[in-house]
Amino acid sequence: MTVSRVQVGGADPYDVVIGTGVLGELAGMIGDRARTVAVVHAEGLPEIARPVCGALEAAGYAVHALPVPDGEAAKEVGVLAGLWSRFAELGMTRTDAVVGVGGGATTDLAGFAAASWLRGVKAVLVPTTLLGMVDAAVGGKTGINIPEGKNLVGAFHPPAGVLCDLTTLMTMPREDYISGLAEVIKAGFIADPTILELVEDDPAGAAAPDGPHTRELVERAIQVKADVVSADLREAGLREILNYGHTLAHAIEKAEDYRFRHGHAVAIGMIYAAELARRAGRLSPEIVARHRAVIASVGLPTSYGIDAWPGLRKTMTIDKKSRGATLRFVVLDGIAEPGRLEGPDEDLLAAAYQEVAR
């Protein structure tokens, strides 16, 4: 299989390399100034972290594998503080590097550890999940969770490169892979309708990591994110469209103590945002129905608890897109026509939620 590249522009441009056997690119991304490389990896992925460490050792680096908890449990202050202590023990300097290997939670943590150590060292990310490849590892957003909300503490710290080995997708549990499809579908709704058409034409194929369009779906979703973050790294305006569906999604994740899959929450959040736009007179019922059909076709959820609204609404108050007391939503005015809805009426918010309640 050939290797493809998507460049993410900006002040510090870098490549996202997509294909198989991509570890040969790793040393070139780290460079020859580094002496020590800390490989932060999900503890459940030693068989994937091992060849990463081997490739780095073969290139002459002093390599140290630092396992962290799997999933969102990694994105905690205590885990981050533990990495800082290990970096200090290893004598890591500003010319050294951090490599993050794992899903989106692991690369978020590794990126923030790199961003905060000595005010910033080089990071290279090796996402091993669909969600990590198309979303978390691309764009330079890093962060951890606190009890009050998800990703409220973090930094913008673009990696030196991202390596997406598509063979790792074959090792994913089916539900985790399908969860990652929510971010792919989101890219279709906000920017690339071809993604939606590929899913609609073959939902079963889209839901399988060895499906006929897997590579194209991954590449298209990455290209959407690269185009957006190249123009707006720090979410000054355009980048907010990548948060389509995420306002409600993050509230659901908090309500579930982050045990609810991110993609499942985003799927529900997109339908909520679509219903909100419809009730605000901005989106047609047909496109709302298309949201439900595409999302359901790959096995993603379309509803959430009927009694959950009061708690979810309270959590949304501290959403990162809010400005002062004004709640802001990314909505659509049409397919690939994202916009914003600011300060919607409380009755509108509640009525839209009833459309996803069960």
Q: So which residues are the catalytic ones?
A: 119, 141, 183, 225, 235, 239, 243, 246, 250, 262
d(CA 334, CA 255): 30
106 is in an annotated binding site: yes
What are the helix (H) ranges across the chain? 26-30, 46-58, 77-90, 104-116, 130-131, 174-190, 193-201, 203-206, 214-231, 246-255, 262-279, 285-297, 309-316, 346-354
262 is in an annotated binding site: yes
41 is in an annotated binding site: no
Q: How far is CA 180 from CA 144, 261, 312, in A?
A: 19, 9, 23
213 is in an annotated binding site: no
2 is in an annotated binding site: no
291 is in an annotated binding site: no
Q: How far is CA 217 from CA 3, 135, 210, 292, 330, in A?
A: 15, 13, 12, 19, 23
246 is in an annotated binding site: yes
105 is in an annotated binding site: yes
270 is in an annotated binding site: no
d(CA 267, CA 271): 7
Query: What are φ and ψ of residue 338, in 5° steps?
Result: -75, 150
d(CA 209, CA 177): 7
75 is in an annotated binding site: yes
74 is in an annotated binding site: yes
Q: State the CB neighbour count (10 A cutoff) for residue 107.
A: 34
Q: State the CB neighbour count (10 A cutoff) for residue 140.
A: 20
Spatial CA neighbour of 99 closest among 85, 83, 78, 88: 83
First to last CA, the chain: 44
* Inter-residue contact 92 to 66 (CB < 8 Å): no
Beta bridge partners of 302: none
Query: Which residues 6+ apart lie within 8 Å of 29 measured at CB?
Result: 14, 15, 124, 160, 161, 163
194 is in an annotated binding site: no
129 is in an annotated binding site: yes
107 is in an annotated binding site: yes
Q: Compute the Cα dihedral for 204, 206, 208, 212 and give only its sign.
A: positive
Query: What are φ and ψ of residue 76, in 5° steps?
Result: -125, 155
Provide the annotated binding site for Zn(2+). 183, 246, 262
Provide the annotated binding site for NAD(+). 70-75, 104-108, 128-129, 141, 150, 168-171
Provide the annotated binding site. 70-75, 104-108, 128-129, 141, 150, 168-171, 183, 246, 262
